[in-house]
Amino acid sequence: MIQISPVVFAEPALQIEALCDYIDRAEAVAIGANLGIRFAHYNLVAPAAALTPTPACFNARMEMIRGLYDKQCARIRELKRCVRERNIELCPYCGKVEAPIEIDHIAPKSEWAEYSIYTGNLVAVCSECNLTKRDNYRDPATAARLFLNPYVDSFMSGEFVHVVISADPLYGFDVPDFEFVPSVMLPPADYNRVSTHFKRLEVASRYARFGVNRLKLLKLSWSGKARADLLGDLVRQNTNEGKVYGDNCWACLLYRSILGNNNLIDYILR
Ligand SMILES: [Zn+2]
- The pTM for the full model equals 0.82
CA 72–ligand 1 middle distance (angstroms): 25
Residue 94 shares a structural domain with residue 45: yes
Taking residue 174's Cβ as centre, other Cβ atoms within 10 Å add up to 14
Q: Looking at residue 159, what is its pLDDT?
A: 58
Q: Rounded CA gap, 254 and 250, in Å?
A: 6
CA 206–ligand 1 middle distance (angstroms): 9
Residue 126 shares a structural domain with residue 170: no
DSSP-assigned states of every residue in 198-255: HHHTTHHHHHHHHHHHHHHHHHHHHTTS-HHHHHHHHHHHHHHHHHHH-TTSHHHHHH
The structural domain count of the chain equals 2
Q: Looking at residue 49, what is its pLDDT?
A: 46
Percent of the chain whose pLDDT exceeds 70 = 80
Domain with 263 in it: 158-269
CA 139–ligand 1 middle distance (angstroms): 20
CA 225–ligand 1 middle distance (angstroms): 34
pLDDT tens across 221-253, in order?
999 999 999 999 999 999 998 888 777 778 888
Tell me which residues of the chain have a pLDDT lower than 50.
49-53
Residue 183 shares a structural domain with residue 257: yes
- Domain assignment present for residue 53? The answer is yes
Q: Contact at 8 Å (CB) between 28 and 19?
A: yes
Residue 123 shares a structural domain with residue 29: yes
- Domain assignment present for residue 138? The answer is no
pLDDT tens across 194-229, in order?
889 988 998 888 888 888 888 889 999 999 999 999
CA 147–ligand 1 middle distance (angstroms): 12
Q: Which residues pair with 97 in a beta bridge?
A: 90
Q: Looking at residue 267, what is its pLDDT?
A: 85
Ion ligand 1 neighbours, Cβ < 5 Å: 91, 93-94, 96, 126, 129
Residue 43 shares a structural domain with residue 126: yes
